[in-house]
């Protein structure tokens, strides 16, 4: 526990963004979204040059070629330098990782779909660069080779299941171990990249001296040295550019600023950081190199920056570095990592809706001495997030029963400024306890950090969430399979033939049929994922990510593409539990308990999407059944039952010699994606509409008994007994902003939920009328941020289906 300087907190409250920060923010607002092909020019050239060499070395030289040659730029407003493109908004493609994943490049129009509703134009020359890269890399890419292997085993089943939205992600999303996780920032800042290089060389020398026989270890350590040296040279390229610009600069202040940049980059990230500025600059250069290694889904997560940067922050303050200067530098990096973009694959467009990387950092939380470690830097970072008003990065507060009131107060005020669920609140104690139940020591579990929008990860384990096509399974889609004898939304037999519902004599027969479908899909996805996991090292390597993110990689002499049983973890999100449970409640009441409907009447209504007078009458009957979110024991206990039975199936899969799959119930915009995999359902939802948002949220508009009833239902579901986290979204009227007393009310409300084993909660503070007007007049609401599932986004960039989903969520007052 730190001793807090409350006068410093008061000084932080008075800070505004620096002029450089404000200029950057305006540049971002004006900048068009753009795809750059610079990286692909160099990946193609490198791949041709290294044909026949070891894959690990080839991948290292590919990154080296990019870092040594890609175009770079320094902008006048930059506090920190280093971007994956010369523009403030832009991205590189990843054909060497994903294969031929951007299908629009084969259209001569030159228009590339960016999200579901946005696109950008490419020149013919740039299209040719991308086409050459796609043609070169696709045959040996991980997606192409893995789908071919899956076809040998199950025909087109895997592709059919993905097309029916029964599981995600697709392999074209390019997720491999650790690409979505954090670097070991503490060690990077402590020893510098030169320290890693020296350690690699020591391992090489020792292994040769001991006459080790596995040449792959030597290749790994050598590849790590190649990419680390290239990253250092990349920093030196920026130093040289800064000096070149300084020579031409006539303004004394600007010249001095450029020379300081050059001096800093001559030193970091090669050597240990000595100041906060050096630490932030080292992090950005390493992050850019990480993105260049795999630009797809490769996010610049901070982990717990208020812990490993706190010493630099306090030391600089003591040495007279102005608070305003440090705040400007931190804001620069937050903004830079909050506006990182990538080119989405088709599945990702539906699950994420946006093309901004969902970067994550956390504040607060327990330390190794079991006390809360919130500090003034935690407070400053929240303050800057409120000033920047960006949809990203995702900011999480690690709540525990020692979290101080001053930090909770700042967090709620930050949420009121951003209005769109920033920060979120996650239960520190529950996450740590789940890790310990899964065999992780407290000293590692206590340093868990957020990945993406919700999912937790560990510092000393390679994170595989999303790899090998494993992230989420769709219980809404499984309900559709059960209602249609295993036939999916596209008319294919992807499920088991469990029978026509008209023949189910009891509710338990229907319930059992659903979980037969669940086990069949889930275990088959895990099996095929294991096939992909074994194939992965044949197709791709990430030596930089391996060496800088996982200590074990150094000692093992092994890329994280090789999953080691002692260090590899992977999770699954079983989604749409609430939808499935509300369906079960409706079926049980209407068909089996009261005989109000026959199965034939229900199925005719569902198959017609509730069309006609009788269809609408049946839909209203379905909607009137008890719904989760209203503190009704019948509905809530069904959610609990489905949650527990789903978890039993997941945990029953033998994943040895690896850890069992952990369960973390995610957010994203997944409910839009999942909804496309289900026709009309017995809970009254129409075909293809989004499912329930988050994973613990009630179905939009169905929670009619107020916010406290929602919390009681959420706690009664007992998700916390099963899931590391589960997303609960709530929407409050902007009247919440009218009174300082409401801050205390929302703090008390949050604390009550967490003390009753809530795992994750976040707030939209927006009026429905404003959202409707924003949909009608998007030009007036370009900066309006909303919480979707587990992440925030600009409302005007979302698809109409998700906009309506947010609009029609229940709006509460407190």
Q: What is the DSSP string of 415-470?
A: HHHH-BS-SEEEEHHHHHHHHHHTT--HHHHTT-EE-TTS-EE-TTSEE-TTGGG-
Question: What is residue 738's predicted lDDT score, i.e. its pLDDT?
Answer: 80
Question: What is residue 575's predicted lDDT score, i.e. its pLDDT?
Answer: 95
- Per-residue model confidence as pLDDT tens digits over 263-309: 999 999 999 999 999 999 999 999 999 999 999 876 778 999 999 99
- Per-residue model confidence as pLDDT tens digits over 18-70: 999 999 999 998 888 889 999 999 999 999 999 999 999 999 999 999 999 99
Task: At 463, list the tokens.
Answer: 């994170």
Strands 760-765 and 424-427: antiparallel
Task: At 174, list the tokens.
Answer: 């390019």
In degrees to the nearest 10, what's the CA dihedral of 417, 419, 423, 427? Answer: 130
- Per-residue model confidence as pLDDT tens digits over 353-411: 777 778 899 999 999 999 999 999 999 999 999 999 999 899 999 999 999 999 999 99
On whether the CB atoms of residues 532 and 540 are closer than 8 A, the answer is no
Alpha-carbon gap, residue 654 to 719, rounded angstroms = 22
Question: What is residue 731's predicted lDDT score, i.e. its pLDDT?
Answer: 94
Strands 728-732 and 811-812: parallel
In 3D space, the residue among 552, 365, 331 whose CA is nearest the CA of residue 456 turns out to be 365
Alpha-carbon gap, residue 27 to 19, rounded angstroms = 12
Say whether pLDDT at 567 is over 70: yes
Return the number of other C-beta atoms located less than 10 Å from residue 389's C-beta: 16
Question: What is residue 33's predicted lDDT score, i.e. its pLDDT?
Answer: 81
pTM over 0.85: yes
Q: Which residue has the tokens 């409302």?
A: 795
Say whether pLDDT at 110 is over 80: yes
Residue 592 lies in a domain: no
Residue 271 lies in a domain: no
- Kindly give the interhelix angle for 215-248 and 276-293, rounded to the nearest 10 degrees: 120
What percentage of the chain exceeds 70 in pLDDT?
100
DSSP 679: -
Say whether pLDDT at 664 is over 80: yes
Question: What is residue 93's predicted lDDT score, i.e. its pLDDT?
Answer: 92
Question: What is residue 789's predicted lDDT score, i.e. its pLDDT?
Answer: 81
Question: What is residue 331's predicted lDDT score, i.e. its pLDDT?
Answer: 98
**Strands in 82-209 per DSSP E:** 91-92, 111-113, 119-121, 167-168
Average pLDDT score over residue span 68-83: 97
Say whether pLDDT at 444 is over 90: yes
Question: What is residue 180's predicted lDDT score, i.e. its pLDDT?
Answer: 84
Domain of residue 796 covers: 769-814
Alpha-carbon gap, residue 104 to 110, rounded angstroms = 8
Question: What is residue 407's predicted lDDT score, i.e. its pLDDT?
Answer: 98
Question: What is residue 349's predicted lDDT score, i.e. its pLDDT?
Answer: 75
Question: What is residue 351's predicted lDDT score, i.e. its pLDDT?
Answer: 79
Question: What is residue 1's predicted lDDT score, i.e. its pLDDT?
Answer: 82
Alpha carbon of residue 467 to chain centroid? 13
Residue 798 lies in a domain: yes
Task: At 798, list the tokens.
Answer: 């979302």
Residues contacting residue 779 through CB under 8 Å, at least 6 positions apart: none
Task: At 502, list the tokens.
Answer: 């008209």
pLDDT bucket at 792, cuts 50 / 70 / 90:
confident
pLDDT bucket at 787, cuts 50 / 70 / 90:
confident
pLDDT bucket at 650, cuts 50 / 70 / 90:
very high
For 353, left (φ over 0), alpha (ψ -120 to 50), or beta? left
Return the number of other C-beta atoms located less than 10 Å from residue 201's C-beta: 14
Residue 87 lies in a domain: no
In 3D space, the residue among 99, 291, 270 whose CA is nearest the CA of residue 188 turns out to be 270
Say whether pLDDT at 813 is over 70: yes
On whether the CB atoms of residues 204 and 197 are closer than 8 A, the answer is no
Question: What is residue 347's predicted lDDT score, i.e. its pLDDT?
Answer: 80
Return the number of other C-beta atoms located less than 10 Å from residue 370's C-beta: 12
Question: What is residue 356's predicted lDDT score, i.e. its pLDDT?
Answer: 76
Question: What is residue 345's predicted lDDT score, i.e. its pLDDT?
Answer: 78
Residue 162 lies in a domain: no
Provide the 3-class DSSP secondary structure of residue 53.
coil
Alpha-carbon gap, residue 238 to 248, rounded angstroms = 16
- Per-residue model confidence as pLDDT tens digits over 680-707: 999 999 999 999 998 999 999 999 999 9
Alpha-carbon gap, residue 578 to 671, rounded angstroms = 11
Residues contacting residue 335 through CB under 8 Å, at least 6 positions apart: 21, 24, 25, 28, 388, 390
On whether the CB atoms of residues 525 and 531 are closer than 8 A, the answer is no
For 757, left (φ over 0), alpha (ψ -120 to 50), or beta? left
Alpha-carbon gap, residue 496 to 512, rounded angstroms = 12
Average pLDDT score over residue span 336-347: 84
Residue 808 lies in a domain: yes
Count how many domains the chain has: 1
- Per-residue model confidence as pLDDT tens digits over 579-596: 999 999 999 999 999 999
Question: What is residue 350's predicted lDDT score, i.e. its pLDDT?
Answer: 79
Average pLDDT score over residue span 149-164: 98
Residue 812 lies in a domain: yes
On whether the CB atoms of residues 720 and 427 are closer than 8 A, the answer is yes
On whether the CB atoms of residues 432 and 366 are closer than 8 A, the answer is yes
- Per-residue model confidence as pLDDT tens digits over 161-171: 999 999 999 99
In 3D space, the residue among 133, 128, 109, 129 whose CA is nearest the CA of residue 119 turns out to be 109
* 569 beta partners: 463
Alpha-carbon gap, residue 408 to 675, rounded angstroms = 35
Q: What is the mean pLDDT of the chain?
A: 95
Question: What is residue 297's predicted lDDT score, i.e. its pLDDT?
Answer: 73
Say whether pLDDT at 607 is over 70: yes
Say whether pLDDT at 348 is over 80: no
Residue 814 lies in a domain: yes
On whether the CB atoms of residues 469 and 351 are closer than 8 A, the answer is no
Average pLDDT score over residue span 104-131: 89
- Give burial (CB, 10 Å; 0-12/13-18/19+) of 57: middle
Question: What is residue 298's predicted lDDT score, i.e. its pLDDT?
Answer: 65
Query: Lowest-pLDDT range, 1-10, 107-116, 753-762, 763-772?
Result: 107-116
Question: What is residue 669's predicted lDDT score, i.e. its pLDDT?
Answer: 85
* CA atoms in the 13 A half-sphere facing the CB of 460: 12
What percentage of the chain exceeds 90 in pLDDT?
87
């Amino acid at each position: 526990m730190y001793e807090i300087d409350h006068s410093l907190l008061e000084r932080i409250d008075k800070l505004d963004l620096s002029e450089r920060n404000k200029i950057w923010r305006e540049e971002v607002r004006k900048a068009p979204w753009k795809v750059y092909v610079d990286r692909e020019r160099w990946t193609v050239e490198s791949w041709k040059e290294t044909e026949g060499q070891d894959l690990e070395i080839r991948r290292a030289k590919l990154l080296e070629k990019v870092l040594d040659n890609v175009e770079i730029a320094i902008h006048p407003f930059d506090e920190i330098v280093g971007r994956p493109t010369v523009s403030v908004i832009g991205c590189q493609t990843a054909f060497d990782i994903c294969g031929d994943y951007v299908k629009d490049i084969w259209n001569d129009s030159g228009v590339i779909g960016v999200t579901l509703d946005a696109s950008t134009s490419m020149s013919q020359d740039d299209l040719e660069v991308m086409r050459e890269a796609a043609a070169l890399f696709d045959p040996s890419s991980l997606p192409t080779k893995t789908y071919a292997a899956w076809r040998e085993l199950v025909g087109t089943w895997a592709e059919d299941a993905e097309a029916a939205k029964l599981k995600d992600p697709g392999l074209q999303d390019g997720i491999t171990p650790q690409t979505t996780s954090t670097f070991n920032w503490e060690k990077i800042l402590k020893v510098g990249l030169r320290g890693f290089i020296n350690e690699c060389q020591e391992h090489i020398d020792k292994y040769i001296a001991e006459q080790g026989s596995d040449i792959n270890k030597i290749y790994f350590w050598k590849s790590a040295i190649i990419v680390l040296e290239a990253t250092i040279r990349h920093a030196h390229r920026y130093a040289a550019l800064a000096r070149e610009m300084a020579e031409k600069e006539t303004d004394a202040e600007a010249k001095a600023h450029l020379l300081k940049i050059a001096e800093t980059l001559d030193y970091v990230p090669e050597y240990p950081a000595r100041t906060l500025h050096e630490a932030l600059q080292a992090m950005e250069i390493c992050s850019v190199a990480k993105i260049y290694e795999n630009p797809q889904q490769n996010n610049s997560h901070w982990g717990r920056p208020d812990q490993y940067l706190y010493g630099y922050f306090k030391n600089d303050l003591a040495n007279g570095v102005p608070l305003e200067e440090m705040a400007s530098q931190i804001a620069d990096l937050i903004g830079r990592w909050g506006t990182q973009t990538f080119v989405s694959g088709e599945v990702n467009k539906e699950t994420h809706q946006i093309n901004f990387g969902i970067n994550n950092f956390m504040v607060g939380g327990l330390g190794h001495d079991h006390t809360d470690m919130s500090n003034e830097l935690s407070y400053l970072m929240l303050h800057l997030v409120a000033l920047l008003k960006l949809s990203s990065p995702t900011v999480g507060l690690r709540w525990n029963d020692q979290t101080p009131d001053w930090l909770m107060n700042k967090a709620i005020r930050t949420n009121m400024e951003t209005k769109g669920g920033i920060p979120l609140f996650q239960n520190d104690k529950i996450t740590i306890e789940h890790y310990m139940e899964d065999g992780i020591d407290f000293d590692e579990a206590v340093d868990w950090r957020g990945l993406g929008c919700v999912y937790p990860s560990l510092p000393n384990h390679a994170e595989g969430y999303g790899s090998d096509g494993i992230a989420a399974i769709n219980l809404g889609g499984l309900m559709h399979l059960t209602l249609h004898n295993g036939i999916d939304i596209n008319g294919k037999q992807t499920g088991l033939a469990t029978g026509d519902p008209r023949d189910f004599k009891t509710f338990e027969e229907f319930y059992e049929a659903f979980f037969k479908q669940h086990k069949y899909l889930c275990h088959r996805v895990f099996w095929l994922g294991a096939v992909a996991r074994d194939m992965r090292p044949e197709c791709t390597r990430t030596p930089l990510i391996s060496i800088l993110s996982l200590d074990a990689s150094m000692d093992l002499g092994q890329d994280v593409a090789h999953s080691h049983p002692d260090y590899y973890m992977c999770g699954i999100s079983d989604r749409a539990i609430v939808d499935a449970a509300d369906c079960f409640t409706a079926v049980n009441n209407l068909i089996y308990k009261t005989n109000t409907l026959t199965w034939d009447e229900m199925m005719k209504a569902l198959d017609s999407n509730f069309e006609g007078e009788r269809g609408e009458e049946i839909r209203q009957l379905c909607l009137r059944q008890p719904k989760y979110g209203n503190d009704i024991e019948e509905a809530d206990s069904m959610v609990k039952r489905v949650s527990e039975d789903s978890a039993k199936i997941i945990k029953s899969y033998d994943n040895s010699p690896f850890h069992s799959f952990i369960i973390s119930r995610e957010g994203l915009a997944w409910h839009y994606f999942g909804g496309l995999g289900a026709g009309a359902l017995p809970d009254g939802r129409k075909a293809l509409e989004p499912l329930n948002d988050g994973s613990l949220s009630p179905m939009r508009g169905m929670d009619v008994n107020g916010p406290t009833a929602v919390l009681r239902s959420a706690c009664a579901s007992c998700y916390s007994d099963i899931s590391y986290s589960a997303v609960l979204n709530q929407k409050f009227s902007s009247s919440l902003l009218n009174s300082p007393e409401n801050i205390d009310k929302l703090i008390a409300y949050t604390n009550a939920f967490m003390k009753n084993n809530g795992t994750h909660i976040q707030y939209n503070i927006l009026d429905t009328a404003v959202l409707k007007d924003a949909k009608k007049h998007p030009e007036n609401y370009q900066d309006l941020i909303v919480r979707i599932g587990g992440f925030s986004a600009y409302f005007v960039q979302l698809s109409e289906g998700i906009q309506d989903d947010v609009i029609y969520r229940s709006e509460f007052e407190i």
